[in-house]
């Protein structure tokens, strides 16, 4: 596996609303055997955001993998945090969420170009439409978010849920040696996605967040640098033409699919 290239360290800049990430944030990334799990759906920037309530109308699927089994989650409308009182078996628990489509409108070409640049989507955009892009620019997007939680002994491995795009961790952050980093594979339609930008948000124990950019190699894999005691959000975006039915239904010219993965690295002994 080729080690991901560090492209550029970033400060925690205020980015356009279109660059908001959506992630799953457990109240605790490690829980004791027999304890229940609660987790928030959060939307925001720089790994800081607002809790979203459970709302069936916005959820395409919400699943949990534990003890070798995958099952659907159910919730109550308005619940915050969205996941409450979840019981799983000892081992690595994985939550996986997919949203239903949402439409976003860019009122200026500058805002759209800023988004494309931030997410390294200029080359992809050029294959879909020729610039300049006449506003209003309408995009439909979906979220594909996962989270890794250690329960009890926390043994186990991440799996591919079959999300249209998703991260798969190739090591267990609660059990394995991450001295060299956490290896991940980025998938799109079940196939490794090469040469894709990954934005990694690193939250220190004091709440400070730093951001670095990385790229997947030819096998769709990357090695994400991590520090004991920190929590992480990895984010990657696919840009493509909308399917004909989506284009007609939502009157959009663009579609984005956002993959996210959250996890924590235990403090050093």
List pLDDT tens digits, range 84-142: 999 999 999 999 999 999 999 999 999 999 999 999 999 999 999 988 898 999 999 99
- What number is the average pLDDT over the span 8-22? 49
List pLDDT tens digits, range 211-225: 999 999 999 999 999
| Region at 17 (left for phi over 0; alpha for psi -120 to 50; beta for the rest) | alpha
Beta strands in 91-247 (DSSP E): 91-99, 102-106, 137-151, 165-169, 182-188, 191-192, 197-203, 209-215, 221-224, 231-240
Q: What is the pLDDT of residue 19?
A: 58
Q: Say whether 114 sits in a helix, a strand or coil.
A: helix
Closest CA to 121 of 249, 33, 240, 207: 240
Place of tokens 């996210």: 260
Q: What is the pLDDT of residue 61?
A: 98
Q: What is the pLDDT of residue 269?
A: 78
pTM comes to 0.93
Q: Say whether 40 sits in a helix, a strand or coil.
A: strand
Q: Can you tell me the distance from the alpha carbon of 125 to that of 121, in angstroms, rounded to the nearest whole number?
A: 6
């Amino acid at each position: 596996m080729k080690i991901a290239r560090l492209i550029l360290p970033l400060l925690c800049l205020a980015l356009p609303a279109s660059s908001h990430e959506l992630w799953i944030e457990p109240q605790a990334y490690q829980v004791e055997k027999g304890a229940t799990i609660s987790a928030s759906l959060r939307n925001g920037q720089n790994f800081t955001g607002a809790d979203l309530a459970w709302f069936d109308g916005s959820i395409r699927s919400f699943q949990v993998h534990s003890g070798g089994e995958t099952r659907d989650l159910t919730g109550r409308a308005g619940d915050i945090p969205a996941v409450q009182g979840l019981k799983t078996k000892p081992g690595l628990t994985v939550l996986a969420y997919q949203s239903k489509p949402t439409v976003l409108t860019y009122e200026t070409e500058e805002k759209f170009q800023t988004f494309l640049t931030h997410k390294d989507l200029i080359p992809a955009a050029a294959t879909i439409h020729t610039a300049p892009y006449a506003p209003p620019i309408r995009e439909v997007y979906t979220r594909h978010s996962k989270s890794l939680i250690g329960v009890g002994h926390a043994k186990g491995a991440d799996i591919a849920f079959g999300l249209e795009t998703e991260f798969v961790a190739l090591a267990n952050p609660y059990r394995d040696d991450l001295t060299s980093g956490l290896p991940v594979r980025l998938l799109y339609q079940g196939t490794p996605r090469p040469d894709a930008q990954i934005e990694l948000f690193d939250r220190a124990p004091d709440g400070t967040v730093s951001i670095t950019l990385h790229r997947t190699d030819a096998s769709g894999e990357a090695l994400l640098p991590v520090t004991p005691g920190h929590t992480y959000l990895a984010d990657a975006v696919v840009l493509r033409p909308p399917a004909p039915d989506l284009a007609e239904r939502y009157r959009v010219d663009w579609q984005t699919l956002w993959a996210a993965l959250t996890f924590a690295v235990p403090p050093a002994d």
